[in-house]
Structure 1
């Protein structure tokens, strides 16, 4: 194994209930500097009422706060459920998630970030029962609430790239839209018998893998939304960089072009490996409009070079230019609705 992936301290699970075929659901938990929130996240997993065995694979990506100590405490107290992976050095969210996923032993996969939490003790049971009964779906999602850093409800605030459709298929993806927030998703474990090279999960982008995962699954089937709120997404606004959105976007002049490059990698994989159309041209035109607007607001030779490169690689350059007004208006509308 690559030394960068060394598990510094893996606390073994109780062998009595840990046979591979005993695990119905594997929950992957990504943590990085979540000292303030991780107890609530883990407690929301441990409170689950199920008639099956489940496991929680917790991957801490070299936190430099008190998160690892809290994780050791929980792993020692609940060895029959928690499998702890403490990274020797920072891998990035995508590689951390991939390494947990390929070690998951469950028939189904669920996920929870270390600063979010579940609110319904029957969440895992409800979703597993649904997938047992509906083989036609590759996964299912549920409703969720949004809370602030202190856990206070923010009402019906939603995320612009999270769909609320009852049935979400590949045609709805459009290169960026997701069937549900990661904390709401349960899906079949396709990683146990992979049909393709799934290292694209971390190779496409070191920090973003939700869109990559969505593509892999939507190429195989659709998601169903259960109209029941069973989790909370925490909107963390700080300048520490521990929040992924702030790390990737705040103060990053090139974030739109970097997003374009990520989208282009996914499009290439979708077409050459999965042989599907993920609607990536729609997303790339949106990103082009954003880059063009930034150029007009603050011109630079580097931005002009990026614009030329995007048009050069476009399947229909004229369409990129013609749809700029529409995409600008769409962006302003989304900002107003989801502010």
Structure 2
């Protein structure tokens, strides 16, 4: 894809009445941020867009790279450089960016992902601009794993455009929309921020962004793959926390809190669906056969302290028992296999 200079973009646009803000959150992405930026400035649009980059006090050279890009695009790039890492304090970067956004639309792309189609922004803009009944659209993405580009179906919902109802968005949760595919009508994301400030500051993760944005009308799915998701690289959240029990427990606790608050945000219209999602998470986590007994009990005790109702806590106990039985059966099978091999 051709990378356009700032002058080329400004000449192509009639004015600087920005229509879209590209929100990019970066942390220790020095190996990847150039690819993200190149994807932004390869976009061919009839409307002006700006880039709002948030770097959460990276310890590598990410900020230097971002500053170099800003020097090339001073009229388009705006940076937010906090003096303290906000993620470690439990604050969500997107909440810190929302007050700075004054455009009609928001497009998301984290610093380790990138766009691979030059018409991505224009296509999504055209779709939502002509469909006021919808507030979000998304598309599937390729996955980059160990340097290889794979088509593993991330975000795929078929080969034709369609509207995904809010019920399905809640059910699939974070696995539905690749972050770099999300294009959102700004007011849909911020309309309830004043009523739920702590939720936005502490719990506004990937899945919540999707659900809140899809409350009105669902989500528009476009079948073309137009972005690349980097999976399990050294700087990613998933890689850093994949084998840390405490991080997994914290993530589980945060999920339950987010689930309960989203019930309020959706005015309790979908409580049964949220409850089903909660049960699935309980059995996948506490019922995980890989957890040993002490870690399983530790996780269950954490569950008991959460405001999720006795029904879910009873299922937590059942998941614990089921997980223990699965682990016992797994060890029995290993023992039998060793005997056979002897």
TM class by shorter-chain length?
A: 0.7 to 0.9
Q: Does 1:298 pair with 2:296?
A: no
Q: Is the 8 A contact 2:208 2:262 kept in 1?
A: no
Q: CA deviation at 1:17?
A: 12
Cα RMSD of the aligned pairs, angstroms, is 3.4
Bigger Cα displacement from structure 2, 166-175 vs 79-88: 166-175
Q: Does 1:96 align with 2:89?
A: no
Of the three residues 18, 26, 33, the one matched with 1:31 is: 26
1:265-291, Cα deviation, whole Å (9 max, x unpaired): 223323334313262222321232234
Pick the aligned partner of 2:59 from 56, 64, 67: 64
Q: For the structure 1 residues 199 and 212, does the alpha-carbon distance in structure 2 shift closer, same or farther, using more than 3 Å as the test?
A: farther
- Map Cα deviations across residues 135-178 of structure 1 (whole Å, 9 max, x no partner): 2211111222112353x312x2244xx46263222211127345
- The reply on whether 1:286 has 2:280 as its aligned counterpart is yes
Q: Are the equivalent residues in 2 in contact too, given 1:17–1:80 (CA < 8 A)?
A: no
Cα drift, residue 312 of structure 1: 7.5
Alignment of 1:1-339 (within 5 A): 22-92=17-87, 95-150=92-147, 152-154=148-150, 156-159=151-154, 162=155, 164=157, 166-172=162-168, 173-174=170-171, 176-190=173-187, 194-197=191-194, 198-200=196-198, 202-205=200-203, 209-238=205-234, 242-247=235-240, 249-276=241-268, 277=270, 279-294=273-288, 297-300=291-294, 301-306=297-302, 308-309=304-305, 313-315=309-311
C-alpha separation between the residues in 1 aligned to 2:308 and 2:185?
39
Unaligned runs of 5+ in 2: 1-9, 327-342
Q: Is the 8 A contact 1:102 1:192 kept in 2?
A: no
Residues 196 and 273 in structure 1, CA contact (< 8 A), matched pair in contact too: no
Question: TM-score if structure 2 supplies the norm length?
Answer: 0.77
Retained in 2: the 8 A contact 1:163–1:177? no
- In the comparison of the two structures, how many residue pairs are matched? 304
Structure number with bigger Rg:
2
Q: Secondary structure at the match of 1:97?
A: helix
Cα offset, 1:299, TM superposition: 1.4
Mapped to 2, the partners of 1:133 and 1:321 lie a distance apart of 50
> What is the Cα deviation at residue 297 of structure 1?
4.8
Match of 1:3 in 2: none
Q: TM-score, normalised by structure 1?
A: 0.77
Change over 3 Å in CA distance of 1:215–1:204 after alignment to 2:
farther
- Any conservation in 2 of the 1:57–1:85 contact (CA below 8 Å)? yes
> Does the 8 Å CA contact 2:136/2:214 hold for their aligned counterparts?
no
Choose between structure 1 and 2: higher helix proportion: 2
